[in-house]
Structure 1
């Protein structure tokens, strides 16, 4: 289930807000410029679908989104417990960073947490299947797909080089681990 838990950035473990209603999550995140929505596709590709099948299933949504954002490419990332290099990649994602473009993800299967650090608060957004999140360029955040990951996401990029992070050097991600 999708959720949003908000903390003061000096009070780890003490939630000041917890939401599970997608409309309320979208409204709360909208206050800090983050787009959150759920897509209702008539076709949900199987977990082992090819990249082309996944992209085709969501093509109407992708075309509209890419037109709105000016994004130039989309791809599919599939991470499972046996994905080679996950532990090393997870370490990169778990460090607070920013991007020069919006980070846009749509969860086809599974779940992951985008954790945002904005205006003295930490926003832990648990994204699950059918969720789209767009983290604005320059927003400090990190991502946790879990120690035993199992997710399929669409990634939308403007920069043809793909995912490029500038790390903030903050240790805040260590102080706010994702609760399972």
Structure 2
């Protein structure tokens, strides 16, 4: 189930806000310019479906976002725990960074933890199946897929080069618990 927790950026163990309600999550994120939606497939998706089949199942929502935002590239990424590059892929996203374009992801299956650092607060969003998150360009954030990642996501890009991160050099991401601690219930 989706979850949003908000912290002061100096207190990773004391949430100021905690909700699993989709409407409450969307309302809080809207305050900082982030879009959070829940989508439903317009046709069944089989396990192991091709990227084309995945995109066809969400065509209406994909077309709506592309038309509204001018995305040039849409693709499907699938990461499984047996991926030999999973550790390198995870490390690539764990440090605070930003992009010069919106980061828009829709979770077809699985989950991941987006953490945003905005105006002295940390917004920790656990995205799960059927969640769309759109993080505005310039927003400092990091993403944790966990040590055994398992997700399928649709990605939207305005730049043909795709993902280009600009790292801030801060250690804030290391001061907040990793996704696996949250999955084990060790983090508050």
Between the aligned partners of 2:32 and 2:6, the Cα distance in structure 1 is 12
Could you tell me whether the CA contact under 8 Å between 1:105 and 1:134 is conserved in 2? yes
Between the aligned partners of 1:123 and 1:8, the Cα distance in structure 2 is 9
Between the aligned partners of 1:29 and 1:47, the Cα distance in structure 2 is 31
Between the aligned partners of 2:124 and 2:137, the Cα distance in structure 1 is 18
- Residues 52-107 of structure 1: CA deviation (Å, up to 9, x unaligned): 11111111111110111110111000000011211011111001000000000000
Shift of 1:155: 0.3
Count, aligned residues? 180
Could you tell me whether the CA contact under 8 Å between 2:117 and 2:141 is conserved in 1? yes
Root mean square deviation of aligned Cα: 0.9
Shift of 1:134: 0.2
Aligned to 1:99: 99
1:51-130 mapped onto 2 (5 Å cutoff): 51-130=51-130
Structure 1 runs, 4 residues or longer, greater than 3 Å off: none
Q: TM-score by structure 2 length?
A: 0.93
Aligned to 1:36: 36
SS of alignment partner, residue 125 of structure 1: strand
Between the aligned partners of 1:129 and 1:78, the Cα distance in structure 2 is 13
Could you tell me whether the CA contact under 8 Å between 2:40 and 2:58 is conserved in 1? no
Could you tell me whether the CA contact under 8 Å between 1:47 and 1:152 is conserved in 2? no
Between the aligned partners of 1:66 and 1:54, the Cα distance in structure 2 is 16
Aligned to 2:186: none
Could you tell me whether the CA contact under 8 Å between 2:114 and 2:141 is conserved in 1? yes
Q: TM-score by structure 1 length?
A: 0.97
Between the aligned partners of 2:140 and 2:119, the Cα distance in structure 1 is 10
Aligned to 1:17: 17
Could you tell me whether the CA contact under 8 Å between 1:47 and 1:109 is conserved in 2? no
Between the aligned partners of 1:151 and 1:142, the Cα distance in structure 2 is 17
Q: Unmatched 5+ residue regions in structure 2?
A: 184-188
Between the aligned partners of 1:54 and 1:144, the Cα distance in structure 2 is 23
